């Protein structure tokens, strides 16, 4: 089964979630739940760090969009960093890169 692993780093109100592995239909909801859980613990600024060679399919991208909506509606922020070239290409082709807060 495809899965992903995370490492969590916190500083003040910022929670960085370093992701390694594949986020797909089988586990995208788990990522969304983790983001919501960390926001509920008081971390208003969530950073998803994809430096761990992570891959997203459309379900993973959808989970991130839904999580971003949830967090921003509650006065927080969700940012992405270290996105692979392949995933960034997909986001740009679909014109989705303009709707996500991506740290370059």
Structural domains of the chain ordered from first start: 4-103 (3.30.750.24)
Q: What is the mean pLDDT of each run of 10 residues along the chain (104 residues)?
A: 86 97 93 97 97 87 95 97 90 90 91
Instruction: State the pLDDT at residue 75.
Output: 96
pTM for this model (two decimals):
0.92
Instruction: State the pLDDT at residue 2.
Output: 64
**Gap between the Cα atoms of 97 and 95, Å rounded:** 6
């Amino acid at each position: 089964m495809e899965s992903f692993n995370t490492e969590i780093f916190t500083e003040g109100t910022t929670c960085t979630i370093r992701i390694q592995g594949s986020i797909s239909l089988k586990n995208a909801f788990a990522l969304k739940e983790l983001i919501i859980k960390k926001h509920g613990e008081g971390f208003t600024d969530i950073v998803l760090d994809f430096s761990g060679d992570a891959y997203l399919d459309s379900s993973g991208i959808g989970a991130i969009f839904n999580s971003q909506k949830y967090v921003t509606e509650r006065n927080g922020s969700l940012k992405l960093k270290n996105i692979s070239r392949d995933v960034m290409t997909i986001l740009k082709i679909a014109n989705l890169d303009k709707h996500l807060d991506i740290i370059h």
